[in-house]
Amino acid sequence: MIKYEIKNTKEYHNNYSKAIENPEVFWAEIAKKNFTWIRPWSQVLDWDFSIPKVSWFEGAQLNITENCIDRHIENNGHKTAILFEPNNPKDPSEAITYNDLYKRINRFANVLKSKGIQKGDRVCIYLPMIPELAISVLACARIGAIHSVVFAGFSANALSTRINDCDCKMVITSDGGYRGAKTIDLKSIVDSALLDCTGVESVLVAKRIHSDPPMVSGRDYWLQPLLDDASIECEATVMDAEDPLFILYTSGSTGKPKGMVHTTAGYMVYSAYTFKNIFQYEPNDIYWCTADIGWITGHSYIVYGPLLNGATTLMFEGVPSYPDYGRFWSIVEKHKVSQFYTAPTAIRALAKEGLELVNRYDLSSLKILGTVGEPINEEAWHWYNDHVGKKKCPIVDTWWQTETGGVMISPIPNSFEGKPTFATLPFIGVQPALMDENGIEIEGNSVEGRLCVKFPWPSMARTIWGNHQRYKDTYFSAYDQKYFTGDGALRDENGHYRITGRVDDVIIVSGHNLGTAPIEDAINEHPMVAESAIVGYPHDIKGSALYGFVTLKNSQDLSDALKIEINQLISKQIGPIAKLDKIQFTTGLPKTRSGKIMRRILRKIAIKDTSNLGDISTLLNPEVVETIMKNSL
């Protein structure tokens, strides 16, 4: 359990100042007092954003799983580490203690080793939200293998791209998974992905749905018999502070997904410290984050942050709507959840279903509510506050990114209050900056600009796997010596931040980041399509939905069947999460003289705000705008 807690306003301000005035002293103290190190560091921080290079706790050696598990065993071995709630409410939940987890991780780690996995090898994990997902993540970390978890909603193509990008040697999957009333066959998705992946030597398959998928001899192995034969002891591999811990892919505005690389020591220190303070975790609390471990929120705040604090973390396999829209609240009641962390899109979907489903359950165990993934609208914030928190639970609107590894801007309960739609103040050590179009930092309050961070924090991603230049170009080139987030933000009269949304070509749909380029690439693969452009438009539940403008090679071909085919192609290339809600066939797309599609105009058409389209005289083909407007959906 983290010491040096932030319990009131004064402590927040004192610690914030300390961490800004002398970051190395501050973080060294947190690191020393709260974790087990095999060897201490020789240098706390070394950085230069112009390269960019960032290293924390250089020279130190450790293993993160010793910090997540081993050190809790002596006093808290019987405490529940992972509380698993299955998809079907009639099935029993499972309490995995720290003692159990220790054994299960070690067994799994020994299986990895027996299949030839060594320190530094990449292992792709493609699993539903079952305990094996958290356990395999930690088993990789136990032996220094780099885990690359791919959300199990991604298609075979998306999976093979990610497997090949970082040369995974192994894939860990299951026969399938349950999501609400649906049963999903994962093994066949892996099989088709692997047709394109020559580097994968073995596939470990967990049993969940008891199907009988074909197994490729010499490549595919049922997991359980291997675990049964493995020892419960596995020495933790000694890791250097800056050894990669994991790769996690995130969408970019261009083509290929970016494999963000997170390293060991800094990520450990920051994910643990933020978890403790933002959720004000106390030893008997039951903490629940509804994210999937396939996303960064699940990595940092289902697995690592909670376990580093010796917490009980609830893992839910299912969906909020099964067997009905009261499921989340029934789980809160059943397990007496103290902290509940979810996404605005879930809150909006649940709010729509009416209060009876909320009021049916006893939510009095709740102390703190959290939200993440996209800006939360005022209505959803109030609904959450009034009906879930009963006006007595602080709401932490946490702003952060896959790239940042941990929460960057958020209320800290008991220190200062949240305010609807505001992520409020930077976390300890975080130095945000707002920039104008000329690259000048905007000082003072009541201002708006592009959100950057001007000083390193321990859990920032260190590079993009295999492409450091892209890391530099994407995050460190827009503004000198600053990390650019891709988000816009405003700072109010009290210095509180409100995130206004992406300023690049990333659209957040139901909390998932989707780059426009990969979706357009998928559509353009259709033989009848000449070109396409995707924009976002506001959607009641998803936050944003996708609107596609598609030009066909032959305008005679347009049909509803073609729209379905286009969405099928997107599902195949990326996954169902990237499907378009609206598809409009166009005779051409508005372009600049240099041939760039003017998405600005399409965005306005999609939101039906066409009174002022701005200057379209510079367009190569201004005449198409009129037609697109006339036919807009």
Three-class secondary structure assignment of 375-420: CCCHHHHHHHHHHHCCCCCCEEEEECCCCCCCCCECCCCCCCCCEC
Q: What are phi and psi of 398, to 5 degrees?
A: -95, 120
Distance, CA of 392 to CA of 369 (rounded, Å)? 10
Q: Could you tell me the two tokens for 541? A: 């539940």
Q: Which is nearer to ligand WTA, 57 or 400 (CB)?
A: 400
Q: Is residue 528 a contact partner of residue 561, using CB atoms and an 8 Å limit?
A: no
Q: Going residue by residue from 360 to 379, which x/- string records binding to ligand WTA, judged by CB under 6 A?
A: ------------xxxx----
Size of the site for ligand WTA (CB under 6 A): 22
In the range 223-252, which residues lie near ligand WTA by CB under 6 A?
250
Q: What does DSSP say about strands 80-85 and 94-97: parallel, antiparallel, or unpaired?
A: antiparallel
Q: Is residue 168 a contact partner of residue 149, using CB atoms and an 8 Å limit?
A: no
Residue 298 makes contact with ligand WTA by CB under 6 A: no
Q: Which is nearer to ligand WTA, 111 or 499 (CB)?
A: 499
Supply the minimum distance, in Å, between the C-beta of residue 291 and ligand WTA.
Answer: 8
Select the residue interacting with ligand WTA from 121, 317, 487, 520 (CB under 6 A): 487
Residue 398 makes contact with ligand WTA by CB under 6 A: yes
Supply the minimum distance, in Å, between the C-beta of residue 388 and ligand WTA.
Answer: 17
Supply the minimum distance, in Å, between the C-beta of residue 245 and ligand WTA.
Answer: 17
Residue 165 makes contact with ligand WTA by CB under 6 A: no
Which residues have C-beta within 8 Å of that of residue 293, sequence separation ≥ 6?
A: 129, 133, 134, 137, 149, 299, 302, 303, 315
Distance, CA of 47 to CA of 272 (rounded, Å)? 22
Which residues have C-beta within 8 Å of that of residue 527, sequence separation ≥ 6?
A: none
Candidate segments 87-95, 178-186, 292-300, 623-631, binder of ligand WTA by CB under 6 A: 292-300
Supply the minimum distance, in Å, between the C-beta of residue 506 and ligand WTA.
Answer: 7
Cα 116 to Cα 95, 158, 201, 304, 335: the distances in Å are: 31, 26, 9, 25, 40
Candidate segments 13-21, 171-179, 293-301, 429-437, binder of ligand WTA by CB under 6 A: 293-301
Q: Going residue by residue from 489 to 518, which x/- string records binding to ligand WTA, judged by CB under 6 A?
A: ----------x--x-----x----x-----
Residue 423 makes contact with ligand WTA by CB under 6 A: yes
Supply the minimum distance, in Å, between the C-beta of residue 373 and ligand WTA.
Answer: 5
- E-only strand ranges, 49-109: 53-58, 61-62, 80-85, 94-97
List residues bridging with 501 in a β-sheet.
488
Residue 202 makes contact with ligand WTA by CB under 6 A: no
Distance, CA of 276 to CA of 410 (rounded, Å)? 13
Question: DSSP 3-state assignment of 275?
Answer: helix
Supply the minimum distance, in Å, between the C-beta of residue 517 and ligand WTA.
Answer: 17
Select the residue interacting with ligand WTA from 246, 383, 399, 497 (CB under 6 A): 399
Residue 471 makes contact with ligand WTA by CB under 6 A: no
Residue 397 makes contact with ligand WTA by CB under 6 A: yes
Question: DSSP 3-state assignment of 476?
Answer: helix
Residue 402 makes contact with ligand WTA by CB under 6 A: yes
First-to-last alpha carbon distance for the chain, in angstroms, is 54
Supply the minimum distance, in Å, between the C-beta of residue 274 and ligand WTA.
Answer: 12
Residue 303 makes contact with ligand WTA by CB under 6 A: no
Contacts to ligand WTA by CB under 6 A: 250, 295-297, 372-375, 397-402, 423, 485-487, 499, 502, 508, 513
